[in-house]
Amino acid sequence: MLSWESKMREKQFISTRLIIVVFILLPLAFALLSCGRHETTSMPEKNASPKDATVFTEKLYARLLKELPFSDKQDFEDAKRGLIAKPDTLIIRDKNGNIVWNLTPFSFIKENEPAPGTVNPSLWRQSQLVAICGLFKVTERIYQVRTFDLSNMTIIEGDTGIIVVDPLISAETAKAALDFYYQHRPQKPIIAVMHSHSHVDHYGGVEGVVSKEDVESGKVKIIAPINFLEKALTENVLAGNVMTRRASYMYGNLLPAGPKGQVGAGLGMTVSEGTVTIIPPTVTIEKTGQVMKLDGLTFEFLVAPDTEAPTEMHWYIPELRALTAAENACHTLHNVYTLRGAQIRDPLAWAKYLNETIKRWADKSDVLYGMHHWPVWGQERVLDHLKKQRDTYKYINDQTLRLANHGYTMTEIAEMIQLPKSLEENWASRGYYGTINHDVKAAYVKYLGWFDGNPATLHPYPPVEASKRYVEFMGGPDNVIAKARKAYTKGDYRWVAEVVNHVVFAFPHNTEARELQADALEQLGYQAESGPWRNFYLSGAQELRKGVDKTVVASTSASPSAIEAMPLGMFFDLLGVRLNGPKAEGKKIIINWIFTDTNETYVLSLENAVLNHTDSIQAKNADATITLTRDALNRIILKESSFRKEGKAGNLKIEGSKLKVEELFLLMDQFDFWFNIVTPRK
C-alpha cells in the first residue's frame, strides 16, 4: 500500500471547500485546448528536510504552557461524552479504490501526550480534541458522526425517519458516516437532509446519503437557508483557480502528516478527497421566526446571512431543548476572512445574530451542538459559550473601528488588538482557524478598503520591482542575507521572512536566500497556534526548498449533479473571466445560444475587449448560432464529450461562421494551477 504522502503525491487533492473545482479546469476551448502533464520546476535540493524547533520556539511553548489553562479538561470530557462507538481504523475509498479519507497518518496525535517540540502546545491540544472520532449521542434523538471529514454529520431522529444535517464534503465520507450510524442505531429511512449553510463541507456529500430520484419524487426533502443554491455555486467560482491554489497551502495538502508537517486545520483534521455533489433545495428557510414541523419535531429557525457563510441559519428544537448556531459558535475563533481568499465576512452581523440566538433560545436550551467540534451541555454553559463567541466577534469589530478612528492603519491595529483576559483564556476564542491578527485586518478592509490613507502606499511597486530596489538599497543580496542571519540567531523570524523575501523575489535562484527564508517560515509554522497559519508557513518552506511540484495534474472531484446545478449565466460569467482582454482588443463577435431542452436563449457578445451575455433574446446580426442541449454542455464541461462528438450525436449544431466560434474560444486563457506563491511568477 502506498504511504499517505505518496498517495497525496499520486492523486493531489485540491481543497473541495471550493465548490465547483471542475470549473477551474473547465475546457473553455471545448477540446481546442488540452491540459497536459507538466514538468517539475524546482531548485536543487539542499537541506530540504524539515528542521527542529529552535530555542526561541521552545521558549514560546514554555510561556504558553504557563499562560493558558491547560489544566482545564472540560473540552476533553465534552468531546468524548456520549461516545457510542469508534472505528478501529478509518480509511474510506471511492468506487475506484482511491483513498478519499484516511485518519491513519494522524495516529501520532494522542491524548495525554505532550506537544512535540515542533507543534504549538495550544494547537496540539486542539488537534487532540478534533482527532476524537466516532458516533456520539448528543441528547435524546440527536446523534453526531465526528471526524469522518472536516465537519460533523448530525442525525436527528424523528418519529418515523431521520433528518441528516450537513452531510460532509464527499459522497463517500457521507455514506461511510451514515453506514456507521446505522450499525448502531435503528435503520429508519431518511426523510430530509438539512444544510445549515452554503459551504461545501456541509452539503457536498448529499448524494452519499440520498438519491436525486428520492428528492424529485418528494420522498426526501432538502432544507436550506434562503439563497443557498446561488451562494453555494457562486462564492468561489470566478476566482476559483487562485483560491484553490491558496487552499492547498491553507489545508496543508502538500505536507505530510507529522510533528513537522500537517497536524490538522483547527476546524477539523483535514478535508476529504471524494466526490462533491449538490441537490437543489426543495424547502427554503426564508426568514427568522419561520417554523417547520418535521416528523414529530418542531424546528424554529433564525436566518443569519453574511456571517461565517453568505447564507446560514440557526435553529432550535423545543421538544429536545436543543439548539444549534451552525458554524457561528465553534470551539475556535473563526475566519472573518479566510486565507485561501474569499469575500470578507461581517463580524458585527455575526455578533448580532448570536445575540438574537441568545435572546430567543439560550434560557431554554440544555445543549448546543455545532457543525464542527463537540457540543456544550447545560443552560449556563450554553449561555456562556454563546456570549463569549458573540463578544469575541463584536470586540474585533468595535476595537478595529475604534483604533481606525484614531488614525491607526490596518497593520498597526492588527498588532495592537489583544482580546481581554476573559476571552483570551477562553479556549473557544483561541485562534485555531481564524486569528485576531488576520480577522482584524479583514474588519479594517471591510469598512475602509486596502488603502491606509498614506499616499506613499497608494501606488507601490509590484513585488519583483520593489524587491530589486530594496536589495540594492540594502547593499546587495549577500549583505541582506548576512544581516538576516543575525536576526535569525536572535529569533526574529518575522523580520527574516520579510526581508529575505526581497532577495528571493529579486534573485529567485539564490539558494542561500531560499534556504534561510524556508528556515524562518518553518519556525513561524512551528510557533503558529492557527492550523491554517502553520500550514501556510510550512507549505511555503517546503516549496522554497523543493520548488513547485508540477508533475501531477490537479484532479477534480465535482460531480454531474454539481455541474447540472450551475446556472447558465454563471457559465457565461466564467467565460468573461477567462477572456484575454489584450488579445481581444479590436475584435467583435456575436454568438446566439439556444438550449433546446431548457428553452433558454442567450446572446454572447464580444466588444471593447469585454464579453457580455444577455438572456432571453437573440441577435439578428449574430456571427453564429449554437443550438444544443444543456445536457450536452454539461458533458462537455465534465470532459465526457466534446463539441464534435455532440454534433455527430445530433445534440449540437452551429449555424453561421464556425471560424468566429473558434476565434472566440481561442481568446480564452487557460489558467496554470501551479503558479508560484513564495517565489516570483515567471
Over residues 396-441, the pLDDT tens digits come to 999 999 999 999 999 999 999 999 999 999 999 999 999 999 999 9
What's at 552, amino acid-wise?
V
DSSP state of 367: E
Q: Do 445 and 485 have their domain in common? A: no
pLDDT of residue 9: 37
Number of other CB atoms surrounding residue 330 within 10 Å: 24
- Ranges in the chain, pLDDT < 50: 1-44, 553-557
Q: Do 451 and 404 have their domain in common? A: yes
Domain with residue 487: its CATH number is: 1.25.40.880
CA–CA gap between residue 364 and residue 127 (Å, rounded): 32
312, three cell numbers: 446560514
Boundary (domain end) residue, out of 476, 498, 528: 528
Q: Do 472 and 511 have their domain in common? A: yes
Give the total number of structural domains in the chain. Answer: 2
Number of other CB atoms surrounding residue 202 within 10 Å: 29
Closest CA to 525 of 123, 84, 68: 123
4, three cell numbers: 499517505
Closest CA to 323 of 366, 279, 269: 366
Q: Do 481 and 447 have their domain in common? A: no
330, three cell numbers: 465553534
Q: Do 464 and 520 have their domain in common? A: yes
Q: Does some domain include residue 411?
A: yes
Are the CB atoms for 90 and 103 separated by under 8 Å? Answer: yes
Q: Do 449 and 472 have their domain in common? A: no
Q: Does some domain include residue 444?
A: yes
Q: Does some domain include residue 304?
A: no
Phi, psi for residue 365 in degrees, rounded to 5: -115, 130
99, three cell numbers: 483513498
pLDDT of residue 390: 98
pLDDT of residue 233: 85
Over residues 252-311, the pLDDT tens digits come to 989 999 999 999 999 999 999 999 999 999 999 999 999 999 999 999 999 999 999 999
Paired with 362 in beta bridges are none
Over residues 49-97, the pLDDT tens digits come to 899 999 999 999 999 999 999 999 999 999 999 999 999 999 999 999 9
Q: Do 437 and 464 have their domain in common? A: no
Q: Does some domain include residue 96?
A: no
Is residue 70 within a helix (H) or strand (E), and if so which, with residue range? none
Are the CB atoms for 15 and 170 separated by under 8 Å? Answer: no
CA–CA gap between residue 566 and residue 600 (Å, rounded): 14
634, three cell numbers: 454539461
- The two most distant CA atoms of the chain are separated, in Å, by 76
Q: Does some domain include residue 540?
A: no
Q: Does some domain include residue 439?
A: yes
Q: Do 419 and 467 have their domain in common? A: no
CA–CA gap between residue 446 and residue 439 (Å, rounded): 10
Q: Does some domain include residue 515?
A: yes
Q: Does some domain include residue 415?
A: yes
Q: Do 483 and 450 have their domain in common? A: no
Boundary (domain end) residue, out of 483, 502, 528: 528
pLDDT of residue 499: 98
Are the CB atoms for 604 and 590 separated by under 8 Å? Answer: yes
Q: Do 495 and 516 have their domain in common? A: yes
Q: Do 514 and 471 have their domain in common? A: yes
Range of the domain at 448: 399-456
Q: Do 485 and 451 have their domain in common? A: no
